[in-house]
Structure 1
C-alpha cells in the first residue's frame, strides 16, 4: 500500500499488512512508501526518538541517530549551524551539504523550528536520491512538520525551555601571577609585549559570560471532516558565552488543507515566515587577541580610555568588540500551495507551486575609539551588505497505483522547474563626522568624496528543469523493484552539456516470506536489498562556464582615464556536472516480534568528471586557470544499525540502538587527456601567520584530509626541532625543504559509533545519547603557535609551553608545523542526557498533557586529545574538507549546556 502525501503532511492510514512493523510509512522522493517495500538505503527518525534539550537546528534532532550520517556542532557560536556529512566525501569542490526538503519544498535546517518537526527521513544511497538528479549527491534529508488530522479537536501545544551554557574547556594560558612567577624564576621574554604593566587582567574572562537562553513554541492544530489547520509561532533567544554573540529568531508557520467533492480534490496552502537577528560586533580575531594578550596590561588606562599599544597585530580585544556596533538581520518568507486531484482511486494528480524569498541586511560600524581609528586613522569605519534571494518552484506529478492479484504497481511521472535569483549590494566608507550614523548613512563618510570608499554589487540567476519517472513493483509482497530516471537541465553548465540523465534502480527480496522460512516463527523480517544510482553535483556560480570580465585599474586614453577590463574566467563549453555512481547492498532484519532488529549496508561510490581548477596556457586561453572536469574519486563504507528492546514490562521499558559506520576514500585521478597537473598531487590548507605553510596534500592514491609536513623525532639540547628527512636521517628542521615532507596522518575519522538509550519507568523517562569518532588525527593550532618557550615570541603563551618536549628540554625553536602537533583525535562523548517526568492528569482537565524535563548537552568527553574539543569542524571556509582535522586557534569554544523545559498540551 502506497499513500501519496500532500505537501509531506501527516495522513490517517489504515494498514493492510499483518506486520505493524513493516507497515510503517517512510517518506521517499515525491511520495511515501511502506517500510516493508523500501528497497533503498533510507533511515526514518520519528519525533519520539529525537535528541532532547536545547538543540541548535533541526539537524541536531537526529545527531547520532542515523548510521553513516555524521552531524556535528563543533562550535559554541549561537549563530552557527550543524555541519553534515553523509557517507564521506564525493567531491573535491562540491562540499557535503545534503538537499534539505521541508514538507517537500527545498529549504534549510535552520528555517524550521525543531519543535515543529514530526519526522525526518534520510535518503542515503544513489538509488533513492537519483530522482533528485544534481541535488541528490550528498543525500536528501526530508523534514515532515507536525500536521493536524481530520476531525481533530482544537489542540494547543506549548514547548518551552531555559538553558544555561558555559565554555566546556578554557585554554590554559598564563595569567598575571604565572607570568610574574616565570620572571622570578629567571625567565626572560625579549618580546616587547611581555612587560609588567601592573594589572591582573583575565582577558578571556573580560569577553566571556555565563550564557542564558530561552525558547518558546506555541502551536494550534485542529480539523473538521474536510478541513485541517495548523499554526505555530516560535521565539528563540540564544545567548553566546562571548559578549555580543547572540541569536534571536522569530518563526511563524500556518498550514491549511481542505478536501472537496468527496475527497477527490484537496487544496493545501502553507506559509512560513521568519526573522533571524544576530550581532555583528563579534570577530574571532578578538578571541585570538584575548588569548595572546599580556595579562599584566589593564583594560583601560588611568584616564578611562582603552589601553592600547602600537604593535603589529596586537589590539585590545575588549575595545575591539565594545567599539563595534553591528547587526545582521535575515528575513525568510516561504509560500507553497498545492492541488491534489484523485479522479479515480488509483490515480493521483498533483500540482504545487512554492516561492522562497530571503532578504538580508548585514552591517557594522567601528567607532572613533576603535583600534581602526586609533591605529589606522580611519576616524570611524562603516560597512553594509544587503542581499536578496528568490526561488520559484513548480512541480507537477501524476501517480498511478494499482494492485492486480499478487501484483502491486506504482508509477510516478513528474515535471520540476526551479529558478533562483541572487542580488546584493555592499559598500564601505570611513572618516565620519559622528558615530551617531553608524552604518545607516553611508554617504556621510568623507572618504567617499576623496574616492577612497568602495562599492560592489551583482545580480545572477539560474534555472533547473527536471523530467522524472519512477516505477515501483511488488510481487506477492516478496519480490520488490524500484526504478527511476531523471532527465535534468541546468543553465549553469557549458552549452554542450546542459542536460543529463540520472538513473536509479533497486531490488528487494523479502526472504522471510519464502515457503522455506514459514516455520521460522521468530523471524519477523529478513529483506535483502541491492541498488545502483547516478547523481550529479551542480556548481555554485551560475556563470562558471562563461567567460567573465572585470574592471581593474585604468589607463590614460586621449587625455582621459578609462577603466580597464580584464578576463577573470575562461569560457568552457565542455563544463558539465560531476557524476557519482553508487552501488549499495543492504540487509534488513527483525526478530522476536520486533524486540530486536537492524540493518546492514555496504556501498561503493565513484565520482567521475570531478571539478578542479587547472592551469592552462595563455594564449590561447585568456586566463591562466580553468575549472574543468578531469578528476576522479572513490569512497566506500559499511553501516550497521542494531535496535533492541531488552526490557519491556508494564512498569519499565528500555529501548536501545547502536549504529556503526566506517568510510574510506581515495583520489583516483587528478588529470585527463585535456587537463592535467605537473604532478599527481597538490598542496592545500594553510597555517596562517607567522608559520605560513600548507598543511595537507591531495594526491592520487591517497585519501582526502591527509596531513603532510615534517615528521619531528627529537629535540636538541638547545630546544631546536630534529626531524626526519627523506633519507631517514635526523636533522634540524631549518635544514629541510618540501622534499622531506611526509604523511603525518588524516583528519577524517575512519569510524563512527553511536549508542542511544531510552528508559521509561512509570511516569519518568530518561534518554542517554552517546557517540564517538575514531581513527583520525587533529592538527592542534593552539599548541603549534602558543606552546613554545622561545624568548623572542612577543605574546602570551600556554603554561604547557614550559614543559619538556620528549622529556628533554623546553622548545625554543621558531614556530613550525611538525608532526608533534598532529594528535590522535579519538573521542567518546556522553553527548546528551535528558530526564523527564509526565504528570497523570484527568481527561476532564484543561491541561491534557504536562511533562517537565532537564537535560545536559556535552556532559563528558573521553579523549586523549590535548585541545579544547576533539570534535573539530568538518571543513573550513577556504579549503572545504581538503584540510580536514584542523583545530584552528581562534575557533569559538564548545559549550556545556544545562536545559530545563516543559511540554504542555491543552
Structure 2
C-alpha cells in the first residue's frame, strides 16, 4: 500500500511540474473571492498614507479593512493612480509597493505584513497585552482566514493555515470571530491570554450562491422553485451516475434504478409526464452550461447539482425546459494557489436482492412421484440455470484530482477510472475519463479566460445485437427445465430445438461475442470581459464529438444460427454525433440606495449532426474473426447481407433576456423571455416560439411588524408563472414527405416504389407548458429548522397526436397536430432539522414529501377528432399479446386496462366481472374489449424521503431512505410464470398455490392479463447506509487527512409486492409494468477511501 501511494505521489508531482502555467509575477498571496471581482475602484493618491487609501476603497465598496495599527505604522506612504480597476488588481498594486497581504472573509479584509502575522504563536511566550488561539470547525479541522476583530474598531487579524491567530489588545475588550458560511461569535477577553473556539456552520446562509439559468443568484433572492444539493449531501457508495447522487434529495423529482445492469442509468421524472407523443420526459441536463447527461462526467468530479423545478425558473431555456432543468457544476480550482492532490477510490461487490422462486429439480421429481408431471420431463441433471449465468462481481473505482495555480492562473485536472462488473456473466462496463480546466485572468482582471477538455472512453460487453444486457438470456434461465444438463456427454451444448423459444442460456452467453465502445471528447471555452463597471460580457462555446461502435457475433454453434441453418451471423454498426454550442450573454448590474437591478440579454445557437451505419452478414467459413471481418460472409455475395446508413442535422436558435430587481432584500422580482426556433418545425408557419416568465418574492421577516417576533429567522413567500415548450421528436414535421417502398417487377425490370409517408401540417407548433408555482421558504431557531412548501399547477397545451384523416384529399392516413391538453398538479414539502450540534456530535435530518395528480383534459378540437376518447399504449408480448394501458380523456396517465377477475371456480377457472358488474364464469366470458376495465395505475400518487447525517467525533453515519405510495404494479413474472398451460417451461413455485385459497389454475386456461396479476406497489427503501471514519493527523508527511468508509446501496426494501423489485419504471405512457426480462435489482457493498495530500 505504501509503495502504491509513493508511486501515485511521484506521478502526481511529475504531472504538476510539467503542467504549463501562463501567468505573470505574484506580489502577494492575496485571497480575494471571485464574486467581488466585479467591484470597480478608482484611486488617485500621491504620497498618501496607506490608511487613507484603504478608507477610499471602503467608500467605493461595502468592504471593511481590519488591521493592527502597528502594522500600518511600519508602511511608508505610497502613490497610486488606478482608474476603474478590479479589486484584485488594486490590492495587488498595493501589495507590490508595501509588501502587505490581504485576506478576505465575506465583506471583511484583514491586512498583515508578509508571513509574519501568520506564524504559529508560542503559548509559553504570551505577553499580557496579547491574545492568541486556534479556530476549528466542528470536524476539528482548522479554519483558514477567520476574521478576528476587536469589537467597535478596525483592529484585527485573520487565522493562518493552522487556524491560529495572535492579536494585540488593551484592557477588557470583546473579540468578534466571523467567517463566511459560519455563525459569528463574540467573546469577552477579561483576563484570558488564549481563546480557542469551534465555529458552527450557518445552517441557513442566505448569501449562499445557487446556480440558475445563465448565472447565479443569492439563495435569499430566489423567487422560483429551485433545489440545490452540495457534494457533502450526495449519496455515498457505488453510485452509477450523477442522478443516483441526488436520489431522494429533491422533493417532486423521482429518480429510480429499476435495473441492476452496470451499463444502465437512472430514470428521472420531475413533476409528472408532460407529453403523449412528443419528445421524451427527461429533464434538460447541463454540465457547466453545456448540454449533456448524467453520464457525461464522473460522479466524483461533481461539486453541486441545482434543479430548476418550475416554469418561472426553466422558461429561460424555452423549448428545452418543459421537463425541468438540472444544472451540474463540476469541481473548480477556486483560486487555488498551491498544489493540492486528492484521491478517492473504492472496491465493491454486489448480489441479486431477490430471486424468483422457480421449480427446482427436486420439485420436478416430487411432481413426477405424486403423478402431477410425466416422468419424461426428468432429464437426469440438477441444474440451477440462474447460477450458471451469474457470478459474484467485483468492481473498483479510482479518482485523482489535482488543483493548483498562481495569482492569475489556476487549474484543476481530474482522472477517473471505473471497472464495473454485473451479477450476470458478460455484463461488464469499464470507463476511463479525464477532465482538465484552466482559468486565467488578465488586463487587471477585466478579461477572464476559461478552457476545459473532457475525454471519455466507455467500453462494455454486449450479449445481443441491440444492446448490452440480453434479457432474453435471463428469461431462458428461468423457464429452463432444472433437470436439463448444461452439456451433453460429448461436450456439446444440450439443446431442445423442438420447443418454441427454448434455448440453453449458457450457450447463448458463450457462443456469442459482443462489444460496445463509446468515445467522447468535449472542448469548452468561456470568455468573460468586464469593459466597464457592472457590465459583464460572456461568450461560451463548446464542441462535443461522440463516436459509438458496436460489434456482435453469433458462432456456428449458437442455437439461433443452428436453428436457421446458418454458419455464423454478425452485425456491426457505427455512429458519430457532433454537437456545437455558442452562447453570448451581456449582463449589467447596479445598486442604488437599496435598489438592486440586474439585466441579462443573450443569444444561443445549437447544432447537432448525426451519422450512422449498420451492416450484417452471415455464413462465415470460420468463427475466428468474430465481427471484425464482415466481408468474408457468404451472404454478401448472394446479395443477402444487410446494410443501412442515415444522416441528420438539427438546429436550435434562440434569443433570451432576464431582469431581476430587489429592494432592501425584501421585495424581489424576476422576469425572463426566450424567443427561439428549431429545425424540427421547418416548413411550418410558426417555427418560432415565445416563452415568458415572471416570479415575485416577499421577505416577510424584513417588514417592520416582524422585527419583534422571535419565531422565524427568515420567512419568504414566492409566486411564479412560466411558459416552456417541447420540441417534436422528429424533424421536418411541417411538410409532406415521401419514402422509398417495396419493389415490383414490370417489363423485365425491378422498379422501386415511392410512397407518401407524412402529410403536411403548416400549423404544427410547440407543445406549451404553462406552470404556476406558489411557495414558502422558512427558517427557525437560527437555521436549525429550515424548509419550503410549494404548490404547482402545470397545463400542457397543444399536445401532439396523430389523427386519422381521409385519403383523399390527404395523401397519408394520419396527420400530426397540436390538439390535446393535459394537467399536472401537486404539493412539495421539504424540511431540514439539526436537532443536535456541538463539537462532538451533530445530527442533520431532512425529509421530503410530494404529490402528483395527472389528468388528460382533451384530445380533440373542431378540426381534429379521435374516433374514441382514448388510445391504448403499452404491450404485453407473447404468449399473452395484449395492450396493457389506457390513456383516456378525463383520466390520469398510467391506468392499467384489462379484465377484472373476482374469484375462481372449483375446477380452477376464472370468474370475471363484466362491464355491467355481472359475474361471468370463464366458459361463458367472451373476452370482449368492451369488458376491459381500469384495474390499477402505475404512477405513485405520493413520494417521500428521509435522509440522516450523523457525526460523532471522527465517525460519520449517513442513512438515506425513500418510498412511493398509492400505486399498483403489473407483475409480469407472475403473469407468465404462474401459467400452468405451458407445461414444457419451468414455472414459479407459486403457480401451484391455490388461488383465493380455492383451486390451482386449470391447465386449460391460457395466460392472460387480468387484475389477479396487479399488485399493490407501495414500498419504503433504505437506499444507502454509509459509515465513515476520518483521520486528520496520520503522521505521514504528504497526507493531510484520510477518510475510510463502508457503504451499502439498496440496503433494504419494505414492501408487500411479490415480485423482485417494486421500483419499476414510472416514465412514459405505460408505467408500472414489471417486465419479466428486467435485469434484477442488486444490493452492493463498498469499502472506500478518500485521501487529501
TM-score, length of structure 2 as denominator length = 0.80
Is residue 522–residue 593 contact of structure 1 (8 Å, CA) maintained in 2? no
1:238-387 matches, within 5 Å, as: 238-281=420-463, 282-310=469-497, 311-387=499-575
1:787-802 matches, within 5 Å, as: 787-790=978-981, 792-802=982-992
1:740-759 matches, within 5 Å, as: 740-759=931-950
Does residue 177 (structure 1) correspond to residue 362 (structure 2)? The answer is yes
Which range is displaced more, 665-674 or 725-734?
Answer: 725-734
Does residue 14 (structure 1) correspond to residue 106 (structure 2)? The answer is yes
Does residue 150 (structure 1) correspond to residue 335 (structure 2)? The answer is yes
Which range is displaced more, 529-538 or 541-550?
Answer: 541-550
Q: 1:40 aligns with which of 208, 224, 239?
A: 224
Does residue 87 (structure 1) correspond to residue 271 (structure 2)? The answer is yes
1:460-609 matches, within 5 Å, as: 460-493=648-681, 494-609=683-798
Which whole-Å CA distance do the structure 2 matches of 1:4 and 1:140 have between them?
28
1:166-245 matches, within 5 Å, as: 166-188=351-373, 195-245=377-427
Is residue 385–residue 480 contact of structure 2 (8 Å, CA) maintained in 1? yes
Provide the residue aligned with 1:120 in structure 2.
Answer: 305
Displacement after TM superposition at 1:736 (Å): 3.1
1:440-479 matches, within 5 Å, as: 440-479=628-667
Which whole-Å CA distance do the structure 2 matches of 1:198 and 1:611 have between them?
58
Is residue 942–residue 965 contact of structure 2 (8 Å, CA) maintained in 1? yes
Displacement after TM superposition at 1:188 (Å): 2.8
Specify which structure has the bigger relative contact order, considering alpha-carbon pairs within 8 angstroms and separated by 6 or more residues: 1
SS at match of 2:489: coil
SS at match of 1:671: coil
Is residue 3–residue 32 contact of structure 1 (8 Å, CA) maintained in 2? no
1:846-861 matches, within 5 Å, as: 846-861=1038-1053
Which whole-Å CA distance do the structure 1 matches of 2:105 and 2:560 have between them?
64
The 1:632/1:15 distance shift into structure 2, 3 A limit, reads farther
Which whole-Å CA distance do the structure 2 matches of 1:53 and 1:639 have between them?
27
Is residue 832–residue 859 contact of structure 1 (8 Å, CA) maintained in 2? yes
Provide the residue aligned with 2:1000 in structure 1.
Answer: 810
Displacement after TM superposition at 1:186 (Å): 1.7
Q: 1:833 aligns with which of 1009, 1025, 1030?
A: 1025
Q: What 5-or-longer segments of structure 1 have no aligned partner?
A: 876-880
Q: 1:99 aligns with which of 262, 277, 284?
A: 284
What do the CA deviations read for 1:790-842 (whole angstroms, capped 9, x no partner)?
4x532100000110000101012211111010000000001100000000217
Provide the residue aligned with 1:821 in structure 2.
Answer: 1013
SS at match of 2:362: helix
The 1:528/1:2 distance shift into structure 2, 3 A limit, reads farther
SS at match of 2:604: strand
Displacement after TM superposition at 1:844 (Å): 7.9
Displacement after TM superposition at 1:568 (Å): 2.1
The 1:383/1:121 distance shift into structure 2, 3 A limit, reads same
Displacement after TM superposition at 1:89 (Å): 1.0
Q: 1:55 aligns with which of 228, 239, 246?
A: 239
Is residue 364–residue 373 contact of structure 2 (8 Å, CA) maintained in 1? no
Which whole-Å CA distance do the structure 2 matches of 1:847 and 1:703 have between them?
57
Does residue 898 (structure 1) correspond to residue 1090 (structure 2)? The answer is no
Which whole-Å CA distance do the structure 1 matches of 2:482 and 2:441 have between them?
69
Does residue 161 (structure 1) correspond to residue 351 (structure 2)? The answer is no
Which whole-Å CA distance do the structure 2 matches of 1:789 and 1:508 have between them?
63
Provide the residue aligned with 1:770 in structure 2.
Answer: 961
Which whole-Å CA distance do the structure 1 matches of 2:1036 and 2:338 have between them?
14
Provide the residue aligned with 2:48 in structure 1.
Answer: none
Is residue 2–residue 401 contact of structure 1 (8 Å, CA) maintained in 2? no
SS at match of 1:673: coil
Q: 1:141 aligns with which of 302, 308, 326?
A: 326
Is residue 540–residue 584 contact of structure 2 (8 Å, CA) maintained in 1? yes
Is residue 779–residue 886 contact of structure 1 (8 Å, CA) maintained in 2? yes
SS at match of 1:793: coil
SS at match of 1:440: helix
SS at match of 2:508: helix
Displacement after TM superposition at 1:620 (Å): 1.9
Displacement after TM superposition at 1:570 (Å): 2.2
Displacement after TM superposition at 1:248 (Å): 0.6
Is residue 189–residue 793 contact of structure 1 (8 Å, CA) maintained in 2? no
SS at match of 2:876: coil
What do the CA deviations read for 1:635-671 (whole angstroms, capped 9, x no partner)?
1000000001011121100000000000010000111
The 1:358/1:183 distance shift into structure 2, 3 A limit, reads same
Provide the residue aligned with 2:44 in structure 1.
Answer: none
Which whole-Å CA distance do the structure 2 matches of 1:891 and 1:151 have between them?
47
Is residue 358–residue 389 contact of structure 1 (8 Å, CA) maintained in 2? yes
CA RMSD of aligned residues (A): 1.8
Which whole-Å CA distance do the structure 2 matches of 1:107 and 1:309 have between them?
47
Provide the residue aligned with 1:878 in structure 2.
Answer: none
Q: What 5-or-longer segments of structure 2 have no aligned partner?
A: 1-32, 39-87, 89-103, 109-179, 185-201, 464-468
Displacement after TM superposition at 1:15 (Å): 5.7
Provide the residue aligned with 2:886 in structure 1.
Answer: 697
Displacement after TM superposition at 1:224 (Å): 1.4
Displacement after TM superposition at 1:322 (Å): 0.8
Displacement after TM superposition at 1:473 (Å): 0.2
Which whole-Å CA distance do the structure 2 matches of 1:244 and 1:34 have between them?
49
Which whole-Å CA distance do the structure 2 matches of 1:498 and 1:373 have between them?
50
Is residue 149–residue 223 contact of structure 1 (8 Å, CA) maintained in 2? no
Is residue 189–residue 794 contact of structure 1 (8 Å, CA) maintained in 2? no
Q: 1:874 aligns with which of 1033, 1055, 1066?
A: 1066
Which whole-Å CA distance do the structure 1 matches of 2:853 and 2:1072 have between them?
15
Is residue 1034–residue 1041 contact of structure 2 (8 Å, CA) maintained in 1? no
Is residue 77–residue 240 contact of structure 1 (8 Å, CA) maintained in 2? yes
Q: 2:974 aligns with which of 766, 783, 788?
A: 783
SS at match of 2:317: helix
Question: How many correspondences in the alignment?
Answer: 893
Larger radius of gyration: 2
Q: 2:809 aligns with which of 603, 620, 631?
A: 620
Displacement after TM superposition at 1:596 (Å): 0.3
Does residue 716 (structure 1) correspond to residue 898 (structure 2)? The answer is no
SS at match of 2:276: coil
The 1:302/1:13 distance shift into structure 2, 3 A limit, reads farther
Which whole-Å CA distance do the structure 2 matches of 1:4 and 1:247 have between them?
44
Is residue 716–residue 776 contact of structure 2 (8 Å, CA) maintained in 1? yes
Which whole-Å CA distance do the structure 2 matches of 1:571 and 1:321 have between them?
47
Which whole-Å CA distance do the structure 1 matches of 2:1034 and 2:483 have between them?
64
The 1:214/1:59 distance shift into structure 2, 3 A limit, reads same
Provide the residue aligned with 2:125 in structure 1.
Answer: none
Is residue 697–residue 719 contact of structure 2 (8 Å, CA) maintained in 1? yes
Displacement after TM superposition at 1:566 (Å): 1.7
Displacement after TM superposition at 1:353 (Å): 0.9
Displacement after TM superposition at 1:448 (Å): 1.4
Displacement after TM superposition at 1:5 (Å): 11
Is residue 15–residue 23 contact of structure 1 (8 Å, CA) maintained in 2? no
Which whole-Å CA distance do the structure 1 matches of 2:718 and 2:755 have between them?
55
Which whole-Å CA distance do the structure 1 matches of 2:746 and 2:713 have between them?
84
Displacement after TM superposition at 1:13 (Å): 8.5
Displacement after TM superposition at 1:223 (Å): 2.2
Displacement after TM superposition at 1:569 (Å): 2.2
Which whole-Å CA distance do the structure 1 matches of 2:700 and 2:105 have between them?
26
Is residue 684–residue 765 contact of structure 2 (8 Å, CA) maintained in 1? no
Which whole-Å CA distance do the structure 2 matches of 1:517 and 1:843 have between them?
53
